[in-house]
Every structure is written in structure tokens, then in C-alpha cells.
Amino acid sequence: MTVTLDPVLTARLADVAVNVGLNLQPGQDLVLTAPVEALPLVREIAASAYRAGAGVVTPILSDDAVARARFQNAQDESFDKAADWMYRGMAEAFGNGAARMAVAGADPMALAKEDPAKVARANKANSIAYKPALEKISNFHINWNIVAWPTAGWARQVFPDLPEDEAIVKLADAIFTASRVRVDDPVAAWAEHNAALAARSKWLNAERFDALHFTGPGTDLVVGLADGHEWHGGASTAQNGVTCNPNIPTEEVFTTPHAHRVNGTVRATKPLSYNGALIEEIEMRFVDGRAVEARSTSGETVLQSMIDSDEGARRLGEVALVPHRSPISDTGLLFYNTLFDENAACHIAMGQCYSKCFLDGASLTAEQVAAQGGNASMIHVDWMIGGPETDIDGVRADGSRVPVFRKGAWAQSV
């Protein structure tokens, strides 16, 4: 089924992704990945990128049906292979200065009926192959961006009771609104929003908390913060000197936890859609930074496979603060997509940390990042732990406390 969405808003979304999200530079190449259903946006992104002076725009398209064909027909050894040649090429492109954009929108349940063991093997192989390219992104060597487009499979998950065409239009409406492209001047709207997130980051950086203490239903978790950590939110400057907005939309401020100083229990406040499975009611217990117990009421096999990906997968790589009354949370929707769901609630991420979330992070080696408490892993998976009953205290090195969140809202004005 083909649904034609508002061409003006589609063009605005592309312009925001290119000019605010990437801040694409004249002469800069762009590597773009997207679901094949997102071609209307991909074409607008290419046009916008070339107007901005792009060198070469290279789109790489994926398709859920092709992905399923592998699990239904391939030989067993296929699931331990990945297109490493492609990822080496992407890493080389990023090393030569190319920007990276991903259009999110694949059906989150596309592989739900496939063998979870094969899905886990394929994802592990893919993660290993992708690592050289991912490091350029997670270490913020380049300007990069993720933006979203409403595909039929995704829309059916978010609005299961609506006809498919209505579901796609309704999801598009949510994406356009959250991405701030319904206003007459989206660039100005993003500048104002970035300023607000920067003010929050500035306050947190001035406080220099040693840890954050989260409490709420099923949660009593102390997240130690990495030595020399730095909070970020909204626009950030990559190591190539380009200031970009990695996520469109975004409502978070975030930093790096200490990989060995997380203790206590935590319960998810929203389901996690991961690798074709819906993982519900996650609970974990951490001791000295490591998740020593993990369970969920559904998708537990996938959850266990995820945190057993490698040594760092049981430790945290990110902690992020998002007020419960964020524009995305106010929709009341579960998007089944981390780009949106993580911006509806405070969250933590298992796995790889962002080296940019350190003072002078661009100059730190991987060994120095690790020495200051940064985690390393082949995965980075966010899951939501905040809600209307969440309280957070900032804990200083001397043990004194400052209210940060009360009942899911910021406790301090900035």
C-alpha cells in the first residue's frame, strides 16, 4: 500500500535532518542507510544534501522481507556471517570525512517469528563486523544523525487497531510533530530547544555529581558517574569540528556512567523492542557495575543473549535524563523504536559508552577512557527506567545530596 504523506513536511524533515541534524558541510560525502519504504524521505534528503554542497550521497537500502528470507531459507552457517566488506568501506568513508545518517523505521517485529538463536547469532556477527564503523560514530569522530520515517510495519505495531493507511498517516503526524517541522521556522525551533538542553547540561556539569541515585517502583539504583564525565544534550560538536544534532527528535541530556560503580536494582518503565522481540518488565540487579541478575516477563531469551554479547554488555555505557512530561511521552504512545521511546523517559544503556561524554574526550585514548570508567562493548542498547514516580538525587563525593528529579520532573530551575 502506498500512502502519500505531506510533501511540504517531508521536505522540511529532510532539511532539518541535513542542516540541523548533520549540519552537512560543503564538499562532505554522506553515507545514508534507510528502509526501502523510506525512499520518499531519502530522495528529499539527497536533494537537500546536494543543495548544501554534498560531495556524493550514497544510499544503502534495507528491506524487512529480504531479512526474513535469510532466516527462512539460508544455510545454518549464514548466521555467523556479516557484510564485513561493506562496514570496512563505511569505516573508510568516515575516516575520509564522510557524514553518517540513518533513517529509522524498520518493522520492530519483523523477525519476531524467526528462530531467536539464529537472530542472536546474526546480530552478533553483524555487531562484530560493524565495529570499525561504529567506533567512528560512538567516539564522535564524525557528524552523524538519525531521523525517522513511518513504514507500514512500524505503523501497524504502534496503531494495531487502525487500517494500515490511517496508521501510517497517524505515525507520520507524530514523527513530524516530535521532529519540530510543523512550525514555520524549524531551524529556529531547534535552536531554541538546543539552548534549553544546553542549559540543563551546563547545570549538571557545574554540579560535578559523583553519582545519581534513582528511586521509584522496583528501582533503587545508584549510578556512579565516570571520572571526568561531561553531560551533553541536543547539539554537540564532533571531533571533525562540525556541530550537529545526532538524534532528531531528542529530549535527553546524557553522560557516561562508571562501568564499575553501579549498584542496586532497577525496573523498566516501558517495554524494549529489540531484535524482533518485545522485552517487557525488565528487572536487573547490579553489583560493582555488572548486571548479575536480569529477567523479564517476555523476551527473556533475547534479553539474556543481548547482555551476553561480550564482557561489556552487562555494564552501562550511558545514563540519560528525560522529564516524564516530554513531548514524546505526552503522546501516550509506545513507539517500539528507541529513537522515540528513549526520549519519553529517563534511560540507561547497556554496552558501549560515548567517549565524547568526558572532559577533553576527543584527546583521550581508549585506554584512558577505560581508566576513567568508560565501558567498551559491541552493543549499545537503551532501555527506559523513568516515569511519573521517579525521583533522582545527585550525590556529591562527600555524600551530600541535591534533588535532580521529583516525581518525574526536574527539581531545579535553570
Condensed to tens digits (0 to 9), the pLDDT of residues 51-86 reads 999 999 999 999 999 999 999 999 999 999 999 999
* DSSP letter string, 249-270: S---EEEPEEEEEEEEEEE-SS
pLDDT of the residue at 139: 84
Average pLDDT of the residues in 374-391: 95
Give the position of cell 520515517.
149
pLDDT of the residue at 243: 96
User: Which of 279, 288, 355, 284 is closest to 318 using CA atoms?
Assistant: 355
Rounded distance, CA 259 to CA 191, Å?
Answer: 33
What does pTM read for this prediction? 0.89
Rounded distance, CA 301 to CA 195, Å?
Answer: 42
* pLDDT of residue 1 exceeding 70: no
Q: Which residue has the higher pLDDT, 264 or 327?
A: 264
Q: Are 355 and 311 in contact (CB under 8 A)?
A: no
Q: Which three cell numbers stand for residue 170?
A: 497517524
Per residue in 392-402, pLDDT (tens digit) is 999 999 999 99
DSSP letter for 352, please.
P
3-state helix, strand, coil split of the chain in percent (to 5) is 40, 25, 35
Task: Classify domain 7-178 by CATH architecture.
Answer: 3-Layer(aba) Sandwich (3.40)
pLDDT of the residue at 158: 96
* pLDDT of residue 31 exceeding 90: yes
Q: Are 406 and 391 in contact (CB under 8 A)?
A: yes
Rounded distance, CA 257 to CA 395, Å?
Answer: 13
3-class state of residue 87 by DSSP: helix
Q: Which three cell numbers stand for residue 271?
A: 517495554
Per residue in 239-261, pLDDT (tens digit) is 999 999 999 999 999 999 999 99
Is residue 85 within a helix (H) or strand (E), and if so which, with residue range? helix 84-95
Q: How many CB atoms lie within 10 A of CB 96?
A: 9
Rounded distance, CA 268 to CA 281, Å?
Answer: 6
Average pLDDT of the residues in 308-318: 96
Q: What percent of the chain has pLDDT over 90?
A: 86
Long-range CB pairs of 340-344, under 8 A, 24+ apart, other chains included:
340/148, 340/174, 340/178, 340/249, 341/270, 341/272, 341/273, 341/384, 342/252, 342/382, 342/384, 343/178, 343/247, 343/249, 343/250, 343/251, 343/252, 344/251, 344/270, 344/384
If DSSP states are collapsed to H, E and C, what string results for 362-384? HHCCHHHHHHCCCCCCCCEEEEE
Confidence of residue 288 (pLDDT cuts 50, 70, 90): very high
3-class state of residue 240 by DSSP: coil
pLDDT of the residue at 229: 98
Strand duo 144-148 + 211-216: pairing: unpaired
Rounded distance, CA 12 to CA 18, Å?
Answer: 10
What are the structural domain ranges in the chain? Answer: 7-178, 208-232+251-410
State which amino acid sits at residue 300: E
Q: Are 45 and 179 in contact (CB under 8 A)?
A: no
* pLDDT of residue 103 exceeding 70: yes
Q: What percent of the chain has pLDDT over 70?
A: 100
Per residue in 168-197, pLDDT (tens digit) is 999 999 999 999 999 999 999 999 999 999
* pLDDT of residue 93 exceeding 90: yes
If DSSP states are collapsed to H, E and C, what string results for 162-222? CCHHHHHHHHHHHHHHHCCCCCCCHHHHHHHHHHHHHHHHHHHHHHCCCEEEEEECCEEEE
